[in-house]
Amino acid sequence: MRTAIHALGGVPGPVSAAEFIETLGLWDEPGKGSRPRLIAVMVGSADGRASVDGRAGGLSSPADRSVMRELRTVCDALIVGPTTFITERYEHLLDPGQPERRIERGRAPEPLLVTISRSLDPALERVPLLGREGARVRVFTESERDLGPTAAEVEVRRFAPGALTPAQCLEELVSDGVRLAVTEGGPTLLHALIADGLVDDLVLTIAPLVVGGDGPTVLTGPVFEPPTELELRSVLRGEDHIFLHYALRSAR
C-alpha cells in the first residue's frame, strides 16, 4: 500500500513511505563500529501520551503504520521492550512484497525480533509471533528459566544477574552481523537507550489526539541532566499526523 505523505517546507508533492525511508540512506548503513546504527520510531499524542486504552495502536494511522513497516523492511533487527511486545501482540512484521524487497537487498526475509526481558516474562510465550513458523526471535535475559515450545526460531541469551545492559545487547547484535537496528520502544526501553547514548535517529509521529490522564509518555524515566539535544532533519505530514525526523547529538 502506498500511503502518501508530504514533506513540509521541502519538495512539493506526495511521497510514499518507502521513498521517505530511502532519503534516510539506511539500506547501505555501515553501522557504528562496536554497535549497530539505531533508529527509534515512536508515536505519541499531541499531549505526549504513548497509548490510548493501554495500546499504542490507538494513536496510529495508515501513514504511520506504513512508515513503521518500511523501517522494519530496512533493518536487520527490530528491538522491542517486553511490555510493548506483549501488549501490542506482535505477529506479522511486514506487509506483502516487503520480504521480497529485503531479499533483493541481501537481507533475510524479515528482521530479527529482539527483546530484553530480565525476568523472562512467561507472557512472552503467548505473543502471536512466537507461534509463527519462520519468525526469528532473540531474548536477552538474566533469568535461568526457559520458555515453552514455540513454532518460531527463538534464541535465549543469558547474562549474570545485574550484568544485562542495552549496550551489551547491541554489541552482541553487531558481532552477529546486525548493522542497522530499529527500536519501537516502549517508553522505558527508549529512555534507557537514549540515556546510554545509543540512539542515532528518532522518527517521532505526532497523532492528532489529546489523551490526558496519567498514562505513559513517549519516554519514561529519570530527568536527563542535561537534556538530550535533537537536530531536526525533516518534517512530513500524512493527513493529520506529523512525522518528525531528528538526529540525536548525544549518540556515540
* CATH code, 93: 3.40.430.10
Structural domain boundaries, residue 206: 30-246
What pLDDT, on the 0 to 100 scale, is given for residue 15? 77
Judge whether 96 lies within some domain: yes
Judge whether 218 lies within some domain: yes
Judge whether 16 lies within some domain: no
What pLDDT, on the 0 to 100 scale, is given for residue 56? 85
CA distances from 112 to 11, 50, 213, 240, 241 (A): 34, 24, 35, 32, 28
- The residue with cell 499531549 is 47
- Positions of the chain with pLDDT lower than 50, given as ranges: 1-2, 252
Cα 220 off chain centre by = 16
Full-model pTM: 0.91
Cell, residue 227: 537534556
Judge whether 132 lies within some domain: yes
Judge whether 6 lies within some domain: no
What pLDDT, on the 0 to 100 scale, is given for residue 249? 79
Judge whether 4 lies within some domain: no
Judge whether 7 lies within some domain: no
Judge contact between 172 and 35, C-beta under 8 A.
no
Provide the H-helix boundaries in the chain. 17-22, 62-74, 82-87, 98-104, 166-175, 187-195
What pLDDT, on the 0 to 100 scale, is given for residue 2? 47
Tens of pLDDT along 204-242?
999 999 999 988 899 999 999 999 999 999 899 888 999
Domain count, the chain: 1
- Burial class of residue 227 in the structure, from the number of CB atoms within 10 Å of its CB (0-12 exposed, 13-18 middle, 19+ buried): exposed
What pLDDT, on the 0 to 100 scale, is given for residue 153? 96
